[in-house]
A and B are shown apart, each in its own frame.
Chain A
Amino acid sequence: MKELVIISGKGGTGKTSIAASFAHLAGNLVTADCDVDAANLHLVMSPVVRRATGFSGGKTAVLDQGMCSGCGKCLELCRYDAVSEEDGIYKIDKTACEGCGVCAYFCPVKAIDMVDDENGEWYVSDTAYGPMVHARLNAGGENSGKLVTLVRGQARRIAKDGDFKVILVDGSPGIGCPVIASITGADAILAVTEPSMSGLHDLKRVVGLAGHFGIRVLVAVNKFDINPDMTDKVLEFVKNEQLEMAGRVHYDIDVTLAQVEGKSVVEFSDGRAASDIRELWRNTAESLELEV
C-alpha cells in the first residue's frame, strides 16, 4: 500500500483539481480529503455518504454564572484573553478559549467545567473510484490537526481492510499543524505550485518541512505558461534541491468549467490541462511504482 499526499503550501494552486483527476485516472483507490478547513474534493467526486461521525477537537471552558462568586481568579490566570468582566459578571469567550483548563482547576467554587467541544463531522463515503474519507470542520473549529490524523487513519484502515494499493490524500495548505498531520509517514508528497513569487516562496517552505520528516518530494507546476520566467525559477529550485519534477500543467479555462460541472478535469475535458494532468499522473504513478 502506498500513500501519496498532494500539497501546495500556498492555496489555490489547483491541488484539489489535480487530486480529483488522479482519482479518476487511478480508478480504484482510497481518497482522503485532509484539507479539512476548506474541504472541496467532495464537490467534484460526488461522494455518497455511508457513515457520518461527530468530531470533538478538544475541551472548552464553560462558566456556570449561578455558581460564580466573582473572585476574578479566572481572569487573572487566563493567558488567552478568553475571560472578560463587566459589572462583576465574568464571561468566557469560547472562540478565544484554548482549552487549557487552568481556570477550571483554580476556580475556588468549581463554577467552571471543561466540556467536549463538538466541532465537526467526518464521513466515510463511496465514490465511483472507491471509498473516500472526508470531513467538515465547523466554523471556527479548533484542532484540525487531530481531525486530519483521524481522516488519514481511517483511510489507511479502509485501504488495509479492502486491500487497496493506493491512498491519495488531498493535503492542507500552509506548514502548521494540519499539514504536519497530513504528511508524516506518507510515502511521497506531490507539491503543486504555480509560477509566481508567492508560489515559489511557499514551495520552499513546504519542501523544507518535507525534508525535516524525510519524505520524498515530487513537484508539479500548474498554470506554468502564465509566467515562463518564474516557471524556470521553480525548475531551477527543483534541480538545486534534487527534487523530482513530475510534470507541468497549462493554464486552461476547462479547469474552472469542470469544477462548475462538479467533475474532475480529465473526466470533463480533453483539452490541454486534461492531457497535461494525464501525463503528470503517468509520471507520478510510474515514479512511485503505484499499482493501479
Chain B
Amino acid sequence: MKIAIASGKGGTGKTTVAVNLAAIAQLNGKRSVYVDCDVEEPNGHIFLKPEIDSQQTVTNPVPVIDDEKCDSCGECGKICHFNAIAVILDSVLVFPELCHGCGGCFHACPKGAITESPREVGKIEAGRSYQVEASGKEGIGFIHGILNLNEAMAVPVIRAVRKMIPESEWVVIDAPPGTSCSMVATVRDADYVLLVTEPTPFGLHDLELAYRTVRDLDITAGVVVNRAGTGDSGVGEFCAREGIEILAEIPESREIAEIYSRGSVIINEDEGFASIMAELMKKVEKRIMAEQR
C-alpha cells in the first residue's frame, strides 16, 4: 500500500504525519517504509535519523555535441522546447541547466553528432531507521531524495526516488507542499492521499487546491486536520460539502510542538498522539482495501 501525505500549504504538519504514520505501522508489526519526495526540503531524516547504507546520484542526460560530425544544420535547436540548445552561426551552444533530458536532440540529429552525458541534479539516500522499538524487525525502511542547491527542477529527482520504492506492506510517501508539478509527480501512483491541513483560512484555501489536484488525478483522498481547536470551522464545512472524509484530528498541543521542534518521533513520547496515529493507520488501511475490492 502506498499512502502519499500531501498538503496544499507548507508547515501544516505533513512530515509529522508521514513520519509518525510510518512509525506506528512499524510498531504494529508491518514492514513499513518512509519515502521523502519533498526533495527541495527533505526533513523526514531529522526525525527518523536513518542509518544510510546506500547512496546514488540522480542525473539528467544532457547533450554533448561532436564537432567533427556536426554540420550546424540547426535541427537540435529546433526540436528543443526548453531552449537548452541554440545554433548560432556555425556553433552549437548547449545550456545543460535548462535541459529536461527529453532526448529530442539526440534522436533528431541527422548526423548522429549528439551523445548524452549524465549531469548530476540530486542525490538519493536509502537506509533504515531504528527510532521505533519494534522487536524482530529490521527497522523502518528509509528513502529520500535531495535536490542539489541551485538546481531548479525537482521532478527528475522525485521520479528517480519513486522508481526506488520497494513493494512493501506499508509505504508512506512525504510529498512536496503545494499543487505544482512536483506534488503531482509524487502522488500520481499512490493508492490513497492524506491531505494534512490546519483549520484556518490559509489552510482551507490551500486544501481546496490540493483536493482538486488529487481528485483530477482520480485518487481517493482523506483529510487530517492538524492543530484542531484553533482557527475556525471552514475546513470542516468544506469537507462536509465535498463529501471528503476527515480521518483524524490532531489537537493543538504545545507538547507535540516541542517534541517536533526537538526532532523526535512523536509516537514514542506522546500516548494521545500515538493512539490518534494508530487509529488513522487502521482507517487508511480499511479505505484502501475497500478501494481495491
A-to-B contact residues, CB < 8 Å: 8-13, 16, 37-38, 40, 43-44, 58-59, 77, 79-80, 95-96, 98-102, 105-106, 114, 137, 139-145, 173-180, 194-199, 201-202, 205, 208-209, 212, 226-227, 230, 253, 256, 259-260, 262
* A residues less than 8 Å from B182 (CB atoms): 176
From B79, B188, B210, A101 is in contact (CB under 8 Å) with B79
- Interface membership of chain B positions 161-192, coded 1 if the CB is closer than 8 angstroms to chain A and 0 otherwise: 00000000000000011111111110010000
From A43, A139, A198, B201 is in contact (CB under 8 Å) with A43
**For the complex, what is the distance from the CA of A195 to the CA of B263, rounded to whole Å?**
11
- Interface membership of chain B positions 195-234, coded 1 if the CB is closer than 8 angstroms to chain A and 0 otherwise: 0000011100110011011001100000000000011100
Which of chain B's residues has its CB closest to A76's CB? B107
Do A173 and B261 form a contact, CB below 8 Å, given A43-B205, A77-B103, A256-B230? no
**For the complex, what is the distance from the CA of A262 to the CA of B43, rounded to whole Å?**
31
* A residues less than 8 Å from B147 (CB atoms): 175-176
* B residues less than 8 Å from A79 (CB atoms): 101-103
Whether the Cβ atoms of B202 and A259 lie closer than 8 Å is yes
Do A10 and B10 form a contact, CB below 8 Å, given A37-B180, A177-B153? yes
**For the complex, what is the distance from the CA of A35 to the CA of B210, rounded to whole Å?**
15
**For the complex, what is the distance from the CA of A262 to the CA of B234, rounded to whole Å?**
13
Residue pairs across A and B with Cβ atoms less than 8 A apart, 22 shown, are A8-B10, A38-B8, A38-B202, A38-B209, A43-B202, A77-B107, A95-B217, A98-B100, A100-B81, A102-B79, A105-B104, A105-B108, A137-B180, A139-B179, A139-B210, A139-B213, A140-B181, A141-B180, A173-B10, A175-B40, A198-B15, A198-B43
Whether the Cβ atoms of B213 and A140 lie closer than 8 Å is yes
From B46, B179, B231, B261, A37 is in contact (CB under 8 Å) with B179
Indicate whether B2 reaches chain A with its CB closer than 8 angstroms. Answer: no
Whether the Cβ atoms of B231 and A259 lie closer than 8 Å is yes
* A residues less than 8 Å from B216 (CB atoms): 95, 139-140
B-to-A contact residues, CB < 8 Å: 8-12, 15, 40-41, 43, 46-47, 79, 81-82, 100-104, 107-108, 147, 149-155, 159, 176-185, 188, 200-202, 205-206, 209-210, 212-213, 216-217, 230-232, 254, 257-258, 260-263
**For the complex, what is the distance from the CA of A38 to the CA of B205, rounded to whole Å?**
8
Do A144 and B263 form a contact, CB below 8 Å, given A77-B107, A79-B102, A226-B258? no
CB distance from B93 to the nearest CB of A (A): 19
* B residues less than 8 Å from A9 (CB atoms): 41
Which of chain A's residues has its CB closest to B78's CB? A105
* A residues less than 8 Å from B15 (CB atoms): 198
CB distance from B49 to the nearest CB of A (A): 10
CB distance from B74 to the nearest CB of A (A): 14
Do A196 and B261 form a contact, CB below 8 Å, given A38-B8, A105-B108, A173-B177? yes
Which of chain B's residues has its CB closest to A37's CB? B178
Whether the Cβ atoms of A12 and B261 lie closer than 8 Å is no
* A residues less than 8 Å from B154 (CB atoms): 174, 176-177
**For the complex, what is the distance from the CA of A259 to the CA of B203, rounded to whole Å?**
10
From B82, B149, B209, B263, A212 is in contact (CB under 8 Å) with B149
* A residues less than 8 Å from B10 (CB atoms): 8, 10-12, 38, 173
* B residues less than 8 Å from A208 (CB atoms): 149
Which of chain B's residues has its CB closest to A142's CB? B181
Most chain B CB neighbours (cut-off 10 Å) among A38, A102, A205, A209? A38
**For the complex, what is the distance from the CA of A8 to the CA of B159, rounded to whole Å?**
25
**For the complex, what is the distance from the CA of A141 to the CA of B12, rounded to whole Å?**
21
Whether the Cβ atoms of B102 and A173 lie closer than 8 Å is no
Known: A11-B12, A95-B188. 12 other contacts (CB 8 A): A10-B11, A11-B177, A77-B107, A80-B102, A95-B217, A139-B179, A140-B181, A140-B183, A145-B152, A173-B10, A180-B150, A227-B262
Do A175 and B149 form a contact, CB below 8 Å, given A43-B201, A102-B79? yes
Do A202 and B41 form a contact, CB below 8 Å, given A102-B79, A106-B107, A259-B200? yes
**For the complex, what is the distance from the CA of A50 to the CA of B9, rounded to whole Å?**
26
* B residues less than 8 Å from A262 (CB atoms): 201
**For the complex, what is the distance from the CA of A227 to the CA of B12, rounded to whole Å?**
18
Whether the Cβ atoms of B41 and A180 lie closer than 8 Å is no
From A37, A95, A174, A212, B41 is in contact (CB under 8 Å) with A174
**For the complex, what is the distance from the CA of A205 to the CA of B38, rounded to whole Å?**
13
From A37, A80, A253, B230 is in contact (CB under 8 Å) with A253
From A140, A195, A201, A253, B43 is in contact (CB under 8 Å) with A201
Whether the Cβ atoms of B101 and A205 lie closer than 8 Å is no
